[in-house]
Amino acid sequence: MIYPTPRAIQLTALAAPVALALGVLAPAGWIAAPVWIVAILALIVADGILAKRPALAEVDLPLSLNVGESFRIGGDDRAVAIDGPVERIAPGEYRAMRRGKARLNRLWQRHSGPLGLAWRQRSIATDQPIVVLPDIRPVRDRGMRQYLDSTQTGARLRRDNGDGQDFQVLTDFQPGMERRTIDWKASARHASLLAREFHTERDNSIVFAIDAGRSMSDPVGDMPRVDRAVSAALLAAFVALKSGDRVRLFSFAGRPQVDSGSITGSRGFAKLHHAAADIEYGTEESNYTLGLVTLDGKLDRRSMVVLFTEFTDPTSAELMLAAAARMLKRHRVLFVLFRDVELEELRDAEPVEADDLVRANVAHLLLRDRAIVVERLRRMGIDVIEAEAEAMPLALVERYVAHRERGR
């Protein structure tokens, strides 16, 4: 198809003021305007015919992108129609804005004629997917640094002796050992104070369960809670895989969404990375009963379940507590909550107007209800991490290491 360029449109529009001026100064000269338009149209057609025929070669698009990365589709003579979490930021340049799957639906290519008055344009329908993944570069760097620092300084991620539940050997009791490790029967038989030495179990099962419901789609800072949860889960999963444990990624909202299955070995991290891209931004309330019961049915061994969630009202909190109590019968459970810094700021801000007092009172009530739920979780025997968003990834890694080494 042949299309006029902006230059051709401007030259054609120039006929209007010329015709007006001729109509005033020389009425018989108005015929020049139609002649001008016809001449421009003829030049547009001729320019389009002389333009190079677009080849419509396939666009070399990446199969996957990290959030925030951009890509180009070639020169300014190409354009694409993309559905999904990818936006156009400049001619021929696009950026991945959030996790998900984008799809290239149509490709346009055009060439300008020698006069610059017409484009010769073609388009074809395509069906090329692009997976937008969480940006794991900082996760990988921080995770490896944490892993190497821990193994090199002595605070190892994987202690062979001293902690855990698997008995390894009897040894002489030394100052600094915990008294619970003393084996009194063996000490009586040998007339010497002996202690049991344990080693940390390997091949533990760690499940990162991410609530992707409406509350988790709300932002914390400049990023939705669910994205921050994915980043923290990937960092902890990276360390867990390096430590020899089995890792599973699971998400749910109104119904279960993603289940990566049980993954072992550091090479399996890529599978977790791709599974995280399928975690959707939920618009409905989370169904804890359906989500956690489904997860429990998939687990064939005792596991450590790390649940990233958020609750906003007493009803959802009660449902969450009931589902967590059922999980606790078979598994260890760790709740991960992001501190609501915005509510804390509203509560602690100095009031200037009457509305400030109302906002502070509402924030205080919400934070009080939240603290009550957290305390109930802890009294049930569920561990809880509540930290600011930026500090959460490393806080989760440290808590995972503590759980693993103590065999709890």
Residue-wise pLDDT for 38-53, tens only, equals 888 888 888 778 777 7
Closest CA to 280 of 143, 98, 18, 11: 98
Q: What was the pLDDT predicted at 212?
A: 92
* C-beta atoms surrounding 296 within 10 Å: 17
Do strands 93-96 and 70-72 pair parallel, antiparallel, or not at all (unpaired)? antiparallel
Nearest CA among 381, 402, 396, 394 for reference residue 332: 381
Contact in structure between 329 and 293 (CB atoms under 8 Å)? no
Amino acid 157: pLDDT: 43
- ∠ CA 395-211-209, rounded to 5°: 60
> pLDDT (tens digit, 9 = 90+) per residue, 127-146?
778 888 887 766 566 655 65
Report pTM.
Answer: 0.70
The tokens describing 84, both together, are 């999904």
Residues 6+ apart with CB under 8 A from 214: 253, 282, 283, 284, 285, 286
Sign of the alpha-carbon dihedral angle for 336, 250, 295, 211: positive
Residue 156 has pLDDT above 60, yes or no: no
Partner residues linked to 194 by β-bridges: 172
Query: Residue 161: which of 401, 405, 402, 400 has the closest Cα?
Result: 405
Structure confidence at residue 158 (pLDDT)? 41
Between 70-84, 148-162, 325-339, the lowest mean confidence (pLDDT) is in 148-162
pLDDT at 39: 85
The reported pLDDT for the residue numbered 322 is 92
What CA–CA distance (Å, rounded) separates 82 from 408?
A: 48
For 109, the 3-state DSSP assignment is strand
pLDDT for 167 equals 46
**By the 8 A CB rule, do 133 and 26 touch?**
no
* Percentage with pLDDT > 70 across the chain: 84
Q: Which residues contact 400 (CB under 8 A, 6 or more apart)?
A: 206, 236, 239, 240, 304, 306, 334
Distance CA 23, CA 37 (A): 16
Which domains, from first to last, does the chain contain? 1-133 (2.60.40.1380), 137-157+201-406 (3.40.50.410), 166-199 (no CATH)
| Residue 348: CB atoms within 10 Å | 10
CA distances (Å), origin 218, targets 96, 196, 250, 283, 307? 20, 49, 20, 10, 17
Q: Yes or no: say if 108 and 59 are a contact pair by the CB < 8 Å rule.
A: no
* Sign, CA torsion 76/78/83/84: negative
Task: Give yes or no for a contact between 183 and 170, defined as CB atoms under 8 angstroms apart.
Answer: yes
